[in-house]
């Protein structure tokens, strides 16, 4: 299952990852995912389960250097010192598996909330963290084009990833187009629309391809060039969500899913991409 995408800094990233937001059984979920082909865990210090991520990684038996973990800095820590402290805390939390660090740890800014000066201060701290060997790559989350342009205008290295809400009902096309033009990988959180599978198109394609609705949604994301981050605490769902390779959705059916886009009205999360 381990297909990868190449980031603009030359590193590679798995093309699918396990999300662990609000996952109360995170250690077990991480273990199951890693033992069944996943190689990326999408976490955050704000989720308050990074210790469990470290435990799950340790129990998986998978080599540390083969695992990619994403952590995020929340906007409440958006100062240079605050971000540096948050990064060190995440590293300590993830080190609970005794040896994980800092190979393949990615740092993201969680949102653009806080204002330009705060965003840039936090971003500089993450870049310095990379330069000091604390993390491997630097990206952002919930950033619009204008927020990323601030980084460019400041003369800083561009982010390698922008993680945003993405699924057929909320396709965020302007941000996606901007990221593609600037060689920024787009990660898709909430790719399963938080389990809202009752749409007729999704149901019809599920039947046609003999795949469950979640697999249809994850596959749509992959074929659109995104890196989906499906979330579940149920072992059987974690495994099936990753069984999305070796088959494709036909172009006419992709068009049907594309037509479900409702813009901002289709969002199922906070989606704060338009903040100043």
Active site residues: 47
266 vs 224, 262, 263, CA distance in Å? 18, 5, 6
Cα torsion 134, 138, 142, 144 to 10°: value is: 150
* DSSP-assigned beta bridge partners for residue 163: 141, 187
CA nearest to 106, candidates 44, 35, 188, 37? 44
HEC secondary structure over the chain? CCCEEECCCCCEEECCCEECCCCCCHHHHHHHHHHCCCCEEECCHHHCCHHHHHHHHHHHCCCHHHCEEEEEECHHHCCHHHHHHHHHHHHHHHHHHCCCCCCCEEEEECCCCCCHHHHHHHHHHHHHHHHCCCCCEEEEECCCHHHHHHHHHCCCCCCCEEEEECECCECCHHHHHHHHHCCCEEEEECCCHHHCCCCHHHHHHHHHHCCCHHHHHHHHHHHCCCEECCECCCHHHHHHHCCCCCCCCCHHHHHHHHCCCCHHHHCCCCCCCCCC
Please name the residue that has the structure tokens 């809202």.
Answer: 196
């Amino acid at each position: 299952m381990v297909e990868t995408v190449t980031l603009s800094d030359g590193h590679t990233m798995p093309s699918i990852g396990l999300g662990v937001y609000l996952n109360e059984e995170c250690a077990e979920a991480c273990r199951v995912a890693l033992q069944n082909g996943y190689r990326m865990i999408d976490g955050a210090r704000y989720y308050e389960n990074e210790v469990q991520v470290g435990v799950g990684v340790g129990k998986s038996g998978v080599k540390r250097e083969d695992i990619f973990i994403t952590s995020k800095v929340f906007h409440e820590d958006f100062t240079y010192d605050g971000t540096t402290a948050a990064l060190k805390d995440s590293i300590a939390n993830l080190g609970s598996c005794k040896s994980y660090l800092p190979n393949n740890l990615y740092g993201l800014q969680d949102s653009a909330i806080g204002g330009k000066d705060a965003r840039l201060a936090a971003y500089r701290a993450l870049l310095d963290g990379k330069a000091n060997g604390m993390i491997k790559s630097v990206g952002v989350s919930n950033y619009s084009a204008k927020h990323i342009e601030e980084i460019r205008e400041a003369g800083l290295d561009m982010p390698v990833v922008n993680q945003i809400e993405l699924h057929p009902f909320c396709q965020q096309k302007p941000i996606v187009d901007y990221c593609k033009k600037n060689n920024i990988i787009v990660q898709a959180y909430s790719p399963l629309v938080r389990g809202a599978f009752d749409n007729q198109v999704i149901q019809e394609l599920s039947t046609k391809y003999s795949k469950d609705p979640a697999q249809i949604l994850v596959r749509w994301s992959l074929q659109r060039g995104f890196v989906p981050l499906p979330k579940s605490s149920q072992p059987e769902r974690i495994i099936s969500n990753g069984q999305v390779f070796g088959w494709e959705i036909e172009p006419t059916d992709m068009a049907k899913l594309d037509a479900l886009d409702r813009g901002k009205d289709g969002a199922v999360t906070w989606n704060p991409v338009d903040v100043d």
